[in-house]
Amino acid sequence: MTIESKLKTSGGGTFSVELIQTVLLVALLPGVFYLCNFVFAKAPAFNEAQALAISGLICALAVFGVLSLLIQRNISKSTAALILFLSLAADIGLNIIIRDIETAHCGAVWLHYYALINLALLGIAWSAGVLLCGVIKKASYLIPLVVAAGIADIWSVGWGVTSEIVKSKTAMNYLLFSFPVVGKDILPLIGVTDFVFATLFLTLAHRFNMPIITTQILLAAAFILSITVAVWCGIGVPVLPVMGVFFIIGNYKHVKISEPKEMKDAALGIMIIVTGLAIATLIK
């Protein structure tokens, strides 16, 4: 049964069981958001590192948990594309509203806008991850993909797009999940790209019959490790390389490259990406 499957009701209408289940799953994220906003308002004071660690970990595990459940919903490519389009439109529209409010100095931004932006980013992560999964035809393609994506993410955090985005709160609102922080306001914490790849890895694990529970534990551990190190050491730690390494370690027998031609193609692709990033850094 897919998300488009219908169940006839006694009243003659049609309702999608999968759609109702999906809506309930999606509702878990704002549920955690509002609960933490309520609890953190009454929580004892924490220092900045502790507050960011607590909120970052809860945010990451909440989003990852919902995505882990959502990938069990079978959706077509056309449905995923529609979700992606609507989610992007919602993300842009909501951020324009927030920008206008802040520009007009109308007071604190309504917290519900952030909850809705998180839902839009959740839709982007889910649908984009599913669509990217369709591009991967063989499990052995994953090692070069992980290496290339990890290198690109490290470059982005240190010298590229991410390093520029974090300088602007407005830009961060477009691309980062925001979450209540103990003793502080609602702050942007974790980028949507990390969850796009988390969705991709989980979806591929299902497709290629990899150990699902092990994969979920390893990916969750990657978020926990990266966020903890980033907060306590005060440095930007990209989640994607850690997640990719953990994923490959846990599923190596499924993703290992055995054909010499694939090894050469993978090495060539990685070399091209590294060269391109080096040129981009020099130009910058």
Q: Please tell me which residue, 177 or 162, carries the higher pLDDT value.
A: 177
Average pLDDT over residues 210-236: 89
Answer whether residue 20 shows pLDDT above 60.
yes
* pLDDT given for residue 280 in this prediction: 56
Indicate the pTM of the whole model. Answer: 0.84
Instruction: Note the pLDDT tens digit of each residue in 235-250.
Output: 777 888 899 889 989 9
Instruction: Note the pLDDT tens digit of each residue in 105-117.
Output: 555 567 888 999 9
Largest CA-CA distance found in the chain, in angstroms, rounded: 67
* pLDDT given for residue 234 in this prediction: 73
For residue 257 the two structure tokens come to 């490259």
Those residues whose C-beta lies under 8 Å from the C-beta of residue 61, and which sit 6 or more positions away, are 220, 223, 224
Confidence of residue 180 (pLDDT cuts 50, 70, 90): very high
Answer whether residue 277 shows pLDDT above 70.
no
For residue 27 the two structure tokens come to 């509702």
Average pLDDT, the chain: 81
Instruction: Note the pLDDT tens digit of each residue in 114-147.
Output: 999 999 999 999 999 999 888 888 887 788 888 8
Distance from C-alpha of 197 to C-alpha of 206, rounded to nearest angstrom: 14
Instruction: Note the pLDDT tens digit of each residue in 258-273.
Output: 666 666 665 666 666 5
Those residues whose C-beta lies under 8 Å from the C-beta of residue 218, and which sit 6 or more positions away, are 246, 247, 249, 250
Answer whether residue 78 shows pLDDT above 60.
yes
Residue type for 102, please? E
Tell me what percent of the residues of the chain surpass a pLDDT of 70.
77
**Strongest mean pLDDT among 81-95, 150-164, 221-235, 243-257:** 81-95
Answer whether residue 3 shows pLDDT above 60.
no
Instruction: Note the pLDDT tens digit of each residue in 30-40.
Output: 999 999 998 88
* pLDDT given for residue 225 in this prediction: 93
Answer whether residue 91 shows pLDDT above 70.
yes
Answer whether residue 84 shows pLDDT above 70.
yes
